[in-house]
Structure formats: C-alpha cells, structure tokens
Amino acid sequence: MTTNAVPLTQRSTLDLIGNTPLVLLKGPSEAAGCEIWGKCEFANPGASVKDRAALWIVRDAEARGELQPGGTVVEGTAGNTGIGIALVANALGYKTVIVMPDNQSKEKMDTLRALGAELVLVPPTKFSDPNHFVHTSRRLAEETQGAVWANQFDNIANRKAHIGSTAPEIWGQMEGRIDGFTCAAGTGGTIAGTGMGLKAFDENVVIALTDPHGAALYSYYAEGELKSEGSSVAEGIGQGRITANLEGAPIDTQFRISDEEGLEWVARLLSEEGLCLGLSSGINVAGAVALGRKLVSEGRPAPRIATILCDTGFRYLSSLYNAEWLASKNLPVFPWLAR
C-alpha cells in the first residue's frame, strides 16, 4: 500500500511530532471482519498522541503573544500532555510546571521529573472540587510570573492539532478510502479534531466515540444526558462534561468498552503482533472492532476503520504490566505475568 512519504531528515526536533505510521492490525481486523488500522502515536518523541496538542498549544500561545521568551507553561494533566509540553518547552527555551493526580503511573511521574518539569501532585477528586488538578494548575499559572496556562481541556488549539495534522495524515495514508474512525475522549481534542478533519474530506466517514466505563459521554451522545456508570483504571481518557474541544464534535455513534475488553486487546496485540500499548489503546481498538462489525452488519462493503494507538505500554510497567497491581484491581492478569 502506498502511503505519504515521511522525510528522513528534519530541521528541528519539533518536526518529529506527527507523521506517525499507520499499521494494519491483524487480530482486530479478523475479529471485525474488515480492516482495522492503528495510528502509531507512540512513535512521537514523547511517546504519545498528546505531543500534537502540546506543540499546537505552545505555538498558539506564542502567536498570541501570551508566551514570552523565558516564560513558563503550566498544565494540569494525567501525564502524557505534560510530557509533551515539557519536551516542546525544553526545545523552545521555556520552563514547565505540571500538576497531576497522584494516582497516575509512577513511570509518568518519573518521566516528568527526568525531563526537568516541576511536578505538583494532588489527590484525585471530582472536577467540581476547587482542588481538582485542572483548577490547581490554573491557579498556579495565575500566581506565576510570565506563565501561561495550557488549559488543554478547553483550549481549542488542542483539537486544531488534529484537524490540521492527524486527520490529513490518516486520509493520505489510507488513500482517501476510510469508512470509520473511533477513539476515546479525555480532553476531546483527538476525537473532535480528527472527526472534523475527516468529515471535511468526506462527510460519509462515520465518527464513533469509544467511551470507558465511569465516563459520561456515552450516555450523552446516546441519550442526551451526561450520566456515568461503573469505573475504569484507564489513564487519560474518560470525561464527565462537554469541554470546549468537544463542542460540535461530529459524533455519529458511540460504544462503551470495559477495562476487561480493552485489556484483552492489549494482551493480544502484544503477544500476537508485538505492540506494547497502554489501556487507552486497547479500549480504542475494542471500539474500532465494534465499529467495524456495525458497518459490516449494515452492509458496507469491506469497510476500513482507523483508530489511535495512544501511547506506549512501557509507561505502565508498574501498573498495567504488573501482576500484583492487576490482581489488586480485580482485573485479569496477563498469562505470561502469572508464570
């Protein structure tokens, strides 16, 4: 299959963000009865899809004159956006302050510290709590001279990153032959931006939300009401409100995926295809299989589905790939970890 050529040399390390490969996933394709393709966002310099939003948010702040030389970028994040911001800030001469819930993976915390970011940990709490990590990061930005608040949830530079890069990359890599796209929502930037970008190419591309348990968007798009049920250990996805990035998102259908189903695909993609991924990727793949089956059942001939492989599994060695941790969450332990 012919794809867009990716340059082998770049003039800036920031040019390494984006232009990630697209890979055909054999097991999911067989399960769905159609082609399932994964966008390898773990190939970004910060090893996650959030590098894109980080770059566009920082560049937008520069363009608006809010971020001056020697300034500081402050953000509240589950970790991956913070890692992307720290790398972008380092490359451009800015400082970084990251506020993160203290229940996220140890690997993310260690990575942020290694990158030189100032890390502030807060207890996980509801968004309505003024001590929520997002509100804490906003206050720190207001109190820090020369700082800007990245505000990834409601800063639409986030979704513009996917309108301007992710969507056209997928469209080009799939030679304009794509029937559906799905992924989960954290900030909403990826699903909304990629959906908007793909719809601009072809209105008939079906955009599906894949929502973990514990989030409220599935019921919102299915029934018009923000309502959650259950819970998930997945980091960085799941949302209980309509963020600015989600406003106007072209969601055509929706699926709710359990951690167990997502973990099944995490295990299979590693043991059968050599891809070590996080749980959000497994949930996305499960959603892509569900979307593929739906389009097949509706009579679409040989549908082709794309989804996001969000980040590397190496970021979750102390949790997702740890037998004791999985057992403590009453989740199935991968067979090779139980030996």
Distance CA 83, CA 89 (A): 10
Give the residue carrying structure tokens 């989740």.
Answer: 331
Q: Which residues contact 114 (CB under 8 A, 6 or more apart)?
A: none
Q: How far is CA 309 from CA 83, 94, 312, in A?
A: 17, 29, 8
What's the DSSP call for residue 241?
S
Angle, in degrees to the nearest 10, between helices 80-92 and 50-63 = 50
What's the DSSP call for residue 144?
S
Angle, in degrees to the nearest 10, between helices 279-297 and 259-273 = 100
Contact assessment for residue 100 and residue 78, using Cβ atoms and an 8 Å cutoff = yes
What's the DSSP call for residue 271?
H
Contact assessment for residue 242 and residue 249, using Cβ atoms and an 8 Å cutoff = no
Of 39, 50, 108, 199, catalytic: 50
Give the residue carrying structure tokens 């690997």.
Answer: 107
Joined together, the tokens standing for residue 213 give 């348990």
Give the residue carrying structure tokens 């390898």.
Answer: 40
Beta-carbon count within 10 A of 105 CB: 19
Joined together, the tokens standing for residue 297 give 């059942």
What's the DSSP call for residue 48?
B
Q: Is 294 a catalytic residue?
A: no
Catalytic residues: 50
